[in-house]
């Protein structure tokens, strides 16, 4: 079997998880030939766990220039995702970048521009796109069988984190270390799925609290209202302070509603679409008939190995990726818009004013309790944090 020779940049939480999945035989068309990390302790861990199975590098650029790899997985702190992604793309090294694509869209747009001029396959690790529930939900919405979207609501508050989680690293939950809180750390998958299934809104109005439930400087409680181009509206509520939390995603359409909750998908389907019923019904309190069913799915949820297997198939046979890397900017745009709306105290429009967002973010980085510039912060955390 032909295999893709992969190097992993950053073997902290997520990088080591990918390494274990590949070495555990879950990705048969991938072989790890090198890993890179600036933290000698992580390299020592890799040596102890895997011996001489692959070459170790203390400098990611040396690994990229070694000739040992066809592709790279970038699993470093948020701020450095585009940096190393661009280094890969400029060398035509196939690339899988961890979520989020970056911290601010202006930076990610540069990464996407590099991808346009590269021959490399470029994916982003949105493993929740492999979920049978969300794939089916998207198929039903995009097919038009239920008509247009009228309202979307996602309450995703089962991201509970205690104070000890934030105390485990001085870079955690700081503007200079992570660039955001629950939106940028825990919710990139949800924001991606929200736009992947429902499309991008055109207006965003957000209220958020910074350090409401924890001793942190970034957001840990968010409530957002959005409007779509067709007049539909939506809400997105998230927090790391709710215990127990909720994960309920509801989409109301002309001919019914879909609810994803507890790994199941339910459909409430009208016998006549609401617009048609309202136009033709003559009874003042009349209602269309409703049928509730649990939607059957294929039951397949391949998670991270599924994304990597599709990545290998894209390289070897030009098959489709689970999530093209260029699409990472969409969920990040939502996150940036929410932050900007909260900082300015007003509604913001999409397309986003990227220069204004960056300016406002930089103000917060400059006052961050994790002192020093972003590059220094990234350098001393790349091996111990990969966005979880």
**For residue 376, what pLDDT band results from cuts at 50, 70 and 90?**
very low
Number of domains in the chain: 2
pLDDT of res. 382:
34
Q: How far is 203 from 216, CA to CA, in rounded Å? A: 28
| Residues present in the chain in total | 388
pLDDT of res. 326:
98
Same-domain pairing of 173 and 120: no
In a domain, 385, yes or no: no
pLDDT in tens, 335-349: 999 999 999 999 999
User: DSSP string of 273-323?
Assistant: -HHHHHHH---TT----EEEEEPP------HHHHHHHHHHHHHHH-PPPSS
In a domain, 175, yes or no: yes
pLDDT of res. 169:
85
User: DSSP string of 295-306?
Assistant: PP------HHHH
Same-domain pairing of 58 and 173: no
Same-domain pairing of 366 and 249: yes
Same-domain pairing of 205 and 151: yes
The mean pLDDT of 42-71, rounded to a whole number, is 98
Which three-class secondary structure state does DSSP give residue 55? strand
Supply the mean pLDDT for the chain: 94
Whichever domain contains 310, its CATH number is: 3.40.50.720
In a domain, 381, yes or no: no
pLDDT in tens, 236-276: 999 999 999 999 999 999 999 999 999 999 999 999 999 99
**Is residue 372 scored above 70 in pLDDT?**
no
**For residue 377, what pLDDT band results from cuts at 50, 70 and 90?**
very low
Q: Lowest-confidence range among 27-31, 167-171, 361-365, 378-382?
A: 378-382
Residue-number span of the structural domain to which 231 is assigned: 129-300+330-371
Provide the percentage of residues in the chain whose pLDDT is more than 90.
93
Higher pLDDT, 130 or 378: 130
In a domain, 260, yes or no: yes
Across 136-289, where does the E strand assignment appear? Answer: 149-156, 203-210, 219-227, 233-239, 247-253, 256-261, 264-270
**Is residue 52 scored above 50 in pLDDT?**
yes
In a domain, 211, yes or no: yes
Whichever domain contains 356, its CATH number is: 3.30.360.10
- Cβ atoms of residues 118 and 90 within 8 Å: yes
pLDDT in tens, 57-98: 999 999 999 999 999 999 999 999 999 999 999 999 999 999
In a domain, 40, yes or no: yes
Same-domain pairing of 52 and 102: yes
In a domain, 376, yes or no: no
Same-domain pairing of 85 and 148: no
Q: Lowest-confidence range among 12-16, 169-173, 311-315, 378-382?
A: 378-382
In a domain, 80, yes or no: yes
**Is residue 383 scored above 80 in pLDDT?**
no
Same-domain pairing of 135 and 266: yes
Same-domain pairing of 15 and 91: yes
pTM (global) more than 0.85: yes
Same-domain pairing of 251 and 159: yes
**Is residue 378 scored above 80 in pLDDT?**
no
Q: How far is 340 from 360, CA to CA, in rounded Å? A: 8
**For residue 370, what pLDDT band results from cuts at 50, 70 and 90?**
low
Provide the percentage of residues in the chain whose pLDDT is more than 70.
95
- Cβ atoms of residues 5 and 69 within 8 Å: yes
Same-domain pairing of 208 and 223: yes
Same-domain pairing of 256 and 163: yes
Residue position matching structure tokens 């105390």: 167
Same-domain pairing of 353 and 232: yes
pLDDT of res. 384:
35
pLDDT of res. 371:
43
**Is residue 387 scored above 70 in pLDDT?**
no
């Amino acid at each position: 079997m032909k295999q893709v020779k992969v190097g992993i940049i950053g073997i902290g939480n997520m990088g080591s998880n990918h390494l274990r999945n590949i070495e555990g035989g879950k990705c048969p068309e991938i072989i790890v030939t090198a890993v890179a990390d600036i933290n000698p302790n992580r390299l020592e861990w890799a040596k102890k766990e895997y011996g001489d199975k692959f070459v170790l590098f203390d400098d990611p650029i040396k690994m990229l220039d070694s000739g040992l790899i066809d592709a790279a997985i970038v699993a470093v702190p948020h701020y450095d995702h585009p940096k190393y992604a661009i280094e890969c793309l400029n060398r035509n090294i196939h690339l899988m970048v961890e979520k989020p694509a970056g911290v601010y869209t202006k930076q990610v747009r540069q990464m996407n521009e590099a991808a346009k001029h590269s021959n490399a396959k470029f994916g982003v690790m949105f493993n929740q796109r492999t979920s049978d529930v969300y794939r089916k939900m998207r198929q039903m919405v995009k097919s038009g069988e239920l008509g247009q979207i009228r309202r979307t609501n996602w309450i995703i508050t089962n991201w509970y984190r205690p104070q000890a989680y934030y105390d485990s690293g001085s870079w955690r939950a700081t503007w200079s270390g992570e660039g955001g809180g629950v939106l940028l750390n825990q919710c990139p998958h949800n924001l991606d799925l929200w736009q992947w299934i429902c499309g991008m809104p055109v207006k965003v109005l957000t209220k958020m609290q910074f350090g409401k439930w924890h001793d942190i400087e970034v957001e840990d409680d968010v409530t957002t209202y959005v409007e779509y181009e067709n007049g539909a509206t939506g809400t997105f509520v998230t927090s790391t302070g709710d215990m127990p939390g909720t994960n309920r995603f509801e989409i109301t359409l002309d001919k019914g509603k879909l609810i994803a909750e507890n790994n199941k998908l339910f459909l409430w389907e009208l016998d006549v679409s609401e617009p048609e019923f309202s136009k033709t019904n003559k009874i003042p309190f009349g209602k269309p008939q409703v049928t509730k069913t649990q939607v059957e799915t294929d039951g397949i949820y391949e998670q991270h190995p599924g994304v990597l297997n599709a990545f290998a198939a894209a390289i070897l046979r030009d098959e489709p990726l689970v999530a093209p890397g260029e699409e990472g900017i969409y969920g990040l745009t939502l996150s940036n818009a929410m932050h900007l709306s909260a900082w300015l105290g007003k509604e913001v429009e999409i397309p986003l004013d990227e220069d204004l967002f960056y300016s406002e973010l930089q103000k917060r980085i400059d006052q961050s309790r994790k002192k020093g510039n972003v590059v220094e912060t990234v350098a001393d955390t790349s091996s111990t944090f990969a966005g979880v």
